[in-house]
Amino acid sequence: MTREADCLFCKIIERKIPSVVVFENERVLGIKDIHPQAPTHYLFMPKRHIAGVHEATGDGIVESLILAANHMARETRVVEGGYRLVINCKNDGGQTVDHLHLHLLGGRKMTWPPG
Ligand code: 5GP
Ligand code: ZN
């Protein structure tokens, strides 16, 4: 697996930094967000380092993140009321960790437009 030595999420994937893991398969890790913005707030990330969604290569990794999030939306039953999937990209998009990740937010009514 490609790792970036100074990447927070690579360290979480390698279990060098603790996290609450909620999902794992060959390509994807899902964890609880440390600062949840909704009753259910999980992050799904590729195990291989990709800086952001702008670097997606068409190998299906983004779909793998969505399928993992959908699985957990069913498991947590937020699928019943609905949920939001978010990928922030770079500075203007609000990305703060430069390792591609998909947010699953659910358990409350979301507002629009986002801030
Ligand atoms: P972004 O702003 O890049 O889209 O999302 C980064 C997310 O990572 C934020 O929601 C933030 O709360 C979460 N986060 C930052 N550091 C950690 C950490 O050490 N552990 C976990 N579980 N989440 C983190
Ligand atoms: Zn990384």
List per-block mean pLDDT (blocks of 10 residues) for the chain, which spans 115 residues: 87 98 98 98 98 96 98 98 98 98 98 94
Residue of 95, 97, 98 with the most ligand 1 atoms within 8 Å of its CB, for mutation? 97
Give the residue carrying structure tokens 């279990």.
Answer: 15
Atom 19 of ligand 1, residue of closest alpha carbon: 34
Task: Give the phi and the psi of residue 83 in degrees, each rounded to 5.
Answer: -160, 170
Cβ–Cβ under 8 Å, residues 84 and 39: no
Cβ–Cβ under 8 Å, residues 106 and 76: yes
**Whole-structure pTM value:** 0.98
Query: Residue 1 has what pLDDT?
Result: 66
Domain ranges of the chain: 8-106
Round to whole Å and give the CA distance between 112 and 79. Answer: 19
Residue of 15, 19, 43, 104 with the most ligand 1 atoms within 8 Å of its CB, for mutation? 43
For the record, the structure tokens of 58 come out as 């068409």
CATH architecture for residues 8-106: 2-Layer Sandwich (3.30)
- To the query of whether residue 41 is one of the catalytic residues in this protein, the response is no
